[in-house]
Structure 1
Amino acid sequence: MKISLLVGLFAGCSVLMASVPLKAHELSSLKASVVRLGDGSIDRSNRLSLSPKPPQGDRVLVETKTVTFVRGKKGQEYPDYKEAIVKYPQVTGLTNPAVLRNVQSAVSLKSVFGQSIAELRAEFLASWWLSEIDYTVNYNQNSLLDLTFTRSGSGAYPSSSNKHRLVNLKTGKVVKAADVFKRESLSTIATMVNKAMQAEVKRAIANGDKEGADLREQLKNQRFQTKHLDSFTISDKGITFLYDFGFPHVILALQPSGKYFLSHNQLRAYIKPDGALKVFLPNTTAGKR
């Protein structure tokens, strides 16, 4: 009787764990192995032990790899001692090895920031500016993987920057605006985004005046153009176009968000019916979700 009860409880726990929708990025911290590297940095390789195998070709499994760079020895004062935590994605789950390699390359730190782990470590040991690199999975379905990478550090001022990657899981290539929007509509979309951007610019100038800062000179020539359309992130509701105003650190807090959302309904006339965003058109099965 006791054995039956224990088996039942174990099965119930398994069902409960399987029914809870856990995100890959959240699961990545459940289990970690730690390896100390010769230069003093620490490699924590995280595993997704509870995540089910993803549907083939539709999405991927994203595991978080963590490396901690260490400069100096504990007990020493900054900047002699400092740590930097670097988290980056490891992608698996595609049956086509060539496409998988393309995806892995597209979301690698070397591709996103122009530096490998080894190069980042060498730079940290020399300059110690870096504090953290991390990423967020924005979208991972319908053969599209959307990630935002953040790099932060501290010099004269603390600062951070974002990089984005939208990858077609059928080809492994980074998605560009011309791949998913009708070419003749690109200027129209840029005009729509610029209209939203200029409204935010006006609000930023007004808020700057309240803070005692005159932002007119910083913002007077800022325009969202067709060349900026390649930087965007997706969701089931719409597309957010991104713009970097490039404010100096001293007034960075007053910089506009640079994020401009347009719904799929607003963009439906401009989305290519045979492109990677066709799933968001109303006449597709995915678009009716």
Structure 2
Amino acid sequence: MCFFPIVLAGLTGVIPMDTPLATVSQMETVIGEDGAVILWPVVEGDLPGTSRINEILNYENAVGETLEETSENYSINHRGIVGSSFRVVWSDPQFLDLEITVETLGAYPSSMVFRYLFDLETGEEVTPNDLFLPETMPELIQLCDSMLQDRIHNETGGGYVFTEEDLENVGMRRGGIVFHYDFNYPHAAAAAEPDGELFFPWSEINRFLLPRYRR
């Protein structure tokens, strides 16, 4: 098991740039003689939320089994979890946005994506109630659904609707906020999925945000 540091950079229009950012290291665990590897994020440093973030990111908490169980299952059966990777989507002095992809193998190959948006002060995952004015959320849901319907028009069948629950899949970008809509196509058809990233620039999303998060 090895650790490798990853250097992050971020910027914000409302927080001094000397405010420290999160430092994310890569934990590497080889689970098979063929070189199959689990790459997992670990947050380091003295930021207030570091300990809590790592509790949430704990491998077993995320996937429901220990690294030892993953390694044993792969070595014996070449099934189950066969690898993972992650990327730092965004980092600034307020937030850390991480995405972890876990590759699995059963009858067919598949993957799971875990998305996390952390508040660096508390270490907790950010919820819609943390970000948005409550009275604006119904309108925000309507806007997201309208964007979604435009996106899927003539590309897929009906039955896909953006709901309040989908607001939970929120992420940060340099230029604004994104919501991830999961179509959950089977692995063999994943390439045909419409684009499920619904992006709003700061100029459009600010009126929905609590004042302290406006940019």
TM range (shorter): 0.7 to 0.9
Cα distance in 1 between the residues matched to 2:136 and 2:197:
20
Residue 200 of structure 1, CA deviation: 1.7
Contact 2:47 2:120 in 1 (8 A): no
Aligned match of 1:270 in 201, 208, 214?
Answer: 208
- What is the distance in 2 between the residues matched to 1:194 and 1:143? 28
Contact kept, 8 Å, 1:83 with 1:131, in 2: the verdict is no
Q: Is the CA contact 1:109–1:117 (under 8 Å) kept in the aligned structure 2? A: yes
Query: Where does residue 148 of structure 1 map in the other structure?
Result: 99
Counterpart amino acid of 2:104? Answer: G
2:63 matched to 1:101? no
Distance 2:202 2:27 in 1: 33
- CA deviation after TM superposition for structure 1 residue 95, in Å: 4.8
Please name the residue that 1:84 is paired with.
36
Provide the residue aligned with 2:185 in structure 1.
Answer: 247
* 1:115 counterpart SS class: coil
| Residue in structure 2 matched with residue 10 of structure 1 by the alignment | none
Determine which structure has the larger strand proportion and give its number: 2
Give the one of 11, 18, 21 matched to 1:59.
Answer: 21
SS for the counterpart of 1:269 is: helix
Query: Which residue of 1 is the match for residue 31 of structure 2?
Result: 69
- Tell me the secondary structure at the aligned position of residue 159 of structure 1: strand
> What do the CA deviations read for 1:162-205 (whole angstroms, capped 9, x no partner)?
11001111001010111111112222111111111111211423
1:120 aligns with 2:70: yes
Q: Is the 8 A contact 1:106 1:165 kept in 2?
A: no
Q: Tell me, yes or no, if the aligned pair for 1:89 and 1:108 is still in contact at 8 Å.
A: no
One-letter code aligned to 2:68: A
Residue 127 of structure 1 deviates from its aligned partner by: 4.0
Query: Higher helix share goes to which structure?
Result: 1
Instruction: Find the residue that maps to 1:89 and give its secondary structure.
Output: strand
Q: CA deviation at 1:84?
A: 2.3
Q: Trace 1:272-287 onto structure 2 (pairs within 5 A).
A: 272-274=210-212, 278=213, 281=214, 287=215
* Kept in 2: contact 1:62–1:90 (CA 8 A): yes
Question: Who is 2:195 aligned against?
Answer: 257
Secondary structure class of the residue paired with 2:46: coil
The one-letter code matched in structure 1 to 2:195 is: S
Identity of aligned residues (%): 20
The SS at the match of 1:111 is: helix
Which consecutive residues of structure 2, in runs of 5 or more, have no partner in the other structure?
A: 9-16
Within 5 A, what are the aligned runs for 1:125-274?
A: 125-129=75-79, 130-205=81-156, 216=157, 220-274=158-212
Q: TM-score, normalised by structure 2?
A: 0.85
Q: Distance in 1 between matches of 2:128 and 2:55?
A: 20
TM-score, scaled to structure 1: 0.65
Q: Which residue number corresponds to residue 4 of structure 1?
A: none
Q: Report SS of the residue matched to 1:145.
A: strand
Q: 1:185 to 1:112 in 2, by over 3 A?
A: farther
- Change in Cα spacing, 1:261 to 1:203, as seen in structure 2 (3 Å) is farther
* Structure 1 residues 51 and 245: alpha-carbon distance in aligned structure 2, compared to 1, 3 A threshold: closer
Counterpart-to-counterpart distance in 2, 1:57 and 1:92? 15
